[in-house]
C-alpha cells in the first residue's frame, strides 16, 4: 500500500531534539493553549493533561484527521481546520505556539499581521512561543542558489522502506527557500512534497514583536545541546 501524503509528512517531520520537553515546561500552569500549524498533532498530544483545553489549528484536513486518530483523553482537545493568517477565534489563550519552523511557512507580507493577531488572541500576561531555524544575515551572499537532490533519510513505514531525497532553491534577496522532497520505494517514486519558506534573520524577531505590542521578548538559541533553532518567548 502506498502511504498517503499526510502519512509521509508525519514520518518525515518529527520536530527538533528536545523541543517537546521545552514546550511542556513553557506551558506549565497554562490552562488554555492554541497551537497554530499543528499538523498531525505531535505537540498538542505532548501537552495534553487533565483539565487543560488545547486547540490545534491547521489548514490541512488530512493531517488533522491523523491528529484526531491519536487523540488523548487526558485533555479537552479541539481540531480546527483553518488558515492561521485569517485567525479570528472568540477566545483568548494563556499560550499560543508556533513550533518547528511553521512561522517560515507564512509569506513575508503576512508575518506582521499574523503577529498582531496572535497578540490580540492572548490573555493579558499570556505568552507567544515559537521556534524556527536560525538564520544569520552574514551567512548569505545575496544570490540565488540551487542545491540538487541528495538523500537525507530512510523511513521505515508500514508500507515498507522509503528513501527521501531533498533539493532546494534559495533566493537570498527575497529571503525565501523552496524545498522539495522526493519519496522513493526502491526505484519507484511514491510521492513528492514541496514547502515554501520565507525566513527572517535572527535579529528581526525582537523589534517586530515589540512593535506589535509585546512587553517582554526573550530570544535564545536551541533546545539544550541543539543550537540550530532560534526560540522566542514573548509576553503580552
Taking only the tens place, the pLDDT of each residue in 78-108 is 999 999 999 999 999 999 999 999 999 999 9
Task: Give the pLDDT score at 45.
Answer: 95
Task: Give the pLDDT score at 41.
Answer: 97
Contacts with 45 (C-beta within 8 Å, 6 or more apart), sequence order: 67, 70, 71, 72
Task: Give the pLDDT score at 140.
Answer: 59
CB 231 within 8 A of CB 21: no
Beta pairing class for 32-36 and 53-58: parallel
Options 3.40.109.10, 3.90.850.10, 3.40.50.150, 3.40.50.300; CATH of 5-135+201-235: 3.40.50.150
Regions in the chain scoring below 50 on pLDDT: none
CB 179 within 8 A of CB 194: yes
Task: Give the pLDDT score at 138.
Answer: 65
CB 143 within 8 A of CB 172: yes
- C-alpha distances in Å from residue 84, one per residue of 107, 136, 231: 12, 26, 20
Kindly list the domain boundaries of the chain, sorted by start residue: 5-135+201-235, 137-198
Amino acid at each position: 500500500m502506498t502511504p498517503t501524503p499526510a502519512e509521509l509528512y508525519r514520518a518525515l517531520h518529527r520536530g527538533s531534539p528536545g523541543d517537546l520537553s521545552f514546550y511542556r515546561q513553557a506551558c506549565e500552569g497554562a490552562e488554555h493553549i492554541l497551537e497554530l500549524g499543528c499538523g498531525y498533532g505531535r505537540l498538542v498530544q505532548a501537552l495534553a493533561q487533565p483539565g487543560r483545553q488545547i486547540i490545534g489549528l491547521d489548514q490541512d484536513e488530512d493531517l488533522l484527521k491523523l491528529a484526531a486518530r491519536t487523540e488523548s483523553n487526558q485533555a479537552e482537545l479541539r481540531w480546527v481546520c483553518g488558515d492561521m493568517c485569517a485567525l479570528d477565534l472568540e477566545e483568548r489563550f494563556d499560550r499560543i505556539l508556533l513550533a518547528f519552523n511553521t512561522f517560515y511557512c507564512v509569506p513575508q507580507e503576512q508575518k506582521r499581521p499574523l503577529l498582531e493577531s496572535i497578540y490580540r488572541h492572548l490573555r493579558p500576561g499570556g505568552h507567544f512561543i515559537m521556534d524556527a531555524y536560525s538564520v544569520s544575515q552574514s551567512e548569505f551572499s545575496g544570490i540565488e542558489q540551487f542545491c540538487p537532490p541528495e538523500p537525507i533519510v530512510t523511513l521505515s513505514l508500514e508500507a515498507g522502506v522509503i528513501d527521501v531525497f531533498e533539493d532546494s532553491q534559495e533566493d537570498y534577496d527575497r529571503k525565501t527557500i523552496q524545498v522539495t522532497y522526493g519519496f522513493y520505494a526502491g526505484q519507484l517514486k511514491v510521492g513528492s512534497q514541496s514547502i515554501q519558506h520565507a525566513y527572517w534573520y535572527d535579529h528581526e524577531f525582537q523589534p517586530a514583536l515589540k512593535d506589535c505590542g509585546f512587553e517582554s521578548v526573550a530570544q535564545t538559541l536551541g533546545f539544550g545541546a541543539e543550537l540550530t533553532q532560534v526560540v522566542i518567548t514573548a509576553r503580552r
